[in-house]
Amino acid sequence: MPTIHLVDGEKGGVGKSLFARTMIQYCLDKKIPFVPVETDRSNPDVAGVYKEICKYAVFSENERQADKADKIFEWAIERPVIVNLAAQSHRAVQGWIDSNQLFELGSSQGVMFCKWFVSTGGYDSMNLFTQSVNTYGERISHILVRNLGLCDDWEHIESDSNFQKIGNKYKIKVMDFPKLAYKERNVIDQNRLTFAEAREYKEFGVIGRQRVMNFLKLAYSAFERVGIWYEKVE
């Protein structure tokens, strides 16, 4: 079923853009038809990297711009859409969904919503994740994306009774997003390389290119274990 994949994190600096770019490359490599959408006007780094294929939309609480995101739903009727959300988009996105009754419309048009919430594991980040889950409940499937590049120990979350309760109630899926080595990540960001370009980037050397490919291999396996794009693999 066509799905609107919302890549969220609500706050800046959680690794959301890197995650969105990885998901885009995953779909390209797997030849999955999709539409990538940039909504971050202040820092459109996803569109800056995948500029040949990215489309633009705007989420706004301003009534005069309330229709600027409508094309996301229109595109989703035909194929999955990956939406890179700007920080602090929660209210604008919720307003767009509620005012247009998009859950009901999605049921009639065959369009689902899915939110990939990228988190650092910090208190504020997890609090925003919980807020998103409580806002939408079962109407949007949530995947907690644990960014291992920013936090490599999630025991405090795994043992948190409140997270366990909400996770069980709404069947929250969890994905571990692997760490990309600092040197390669910095060069990729600085030169606005797609991951396809990064795999062939001569300046990385053989080992550097191998680190990029290993990162993508781990990320792709994590996507498939979640079982949203493909059936879950063991």
Over the stretch 4-30, which tens digit does the pLDDT of each residue have? Answer: 999 999 988 999 999 999 999 999 999
The pLDDT value given to residue 117: 97
Taking residues 187-203, report their average pLDDT: 96
In the structure, what pLDDT confidence band is assigned to residue 232 with cuts at 50, 70 and 90? very low
pTM: 0.94
166, 133 Cβ separation under 8 angstroms: yes
Q: In what order do the strands lie in the sheet with 141-147?
A: 55-56, 35-38, 81-84, 3-8, 112-119, 141-147, 173-177
85, part of any domain: yes
CATH number at residue 13: 3.40.50.300
233, part of any domain: no
- SS3 sequence of 92-107: HHHHHHHHCCHHHHHH
Q: Which residues share a beta bridge with 174? A: 144
99: pLDDT strictly greater than 60: yes
Q: Which residues share a beta bridge with 69? A: none
Beta-strand pair 55-56/173-177: unpaired
> The domain containing residue 76 runs over which residues?
3-226
For residue 207, the one-letter residue type is I
60, part of any domain: yes
Over the stretch 29-88, which tens digit does the pLDDT of each residue have? Answer: 999 999 999 999 888 999 999 999 999 999 988 777 778 899 999 999 999 999 999 999
Q: How many helices (H) and strands (E) does the chain have?
A: 11, 7
DSSP class of 112: E
206: pLDDT strictly greater than 70: yes
The pLDDT value given to residue 230: 64
The pLDDT value given to residue 233: 41
116, part of any domain: yes
Over the stretch 105-152, which tens digit does the pLDDT of each residue have? Answer: 999 999 999 999 999 999 999 999 999 999 999 999 999 999 999 999
28, part of any domain: yes
The pLDDT value given to residue 61: 80
107, part of any domain: yes
The pLDDT value given to residue 111: 96
| Rounded Cα distance, 91 and 97, in Å | 10
CA–CA distance from 97 to each of 60, 69, 80, 90 (Å)? 12, 10, 17, 11
Number of folded domains in the chain?
Answer: 1
Over the stretch 145-194, which tens digit does the pLDDT of each residue have? Answer: 999 999 998 988 888 888 889 999 999 999 999 999 999 999 999 999 99
144, part of any domain: yes
What are 106's two structure tokens?
């999605």
CA–CA distance from 124 to each of 12, 117, 131, 164 (Å)? 11, 13, 10, 17
75, part of any domain: yes
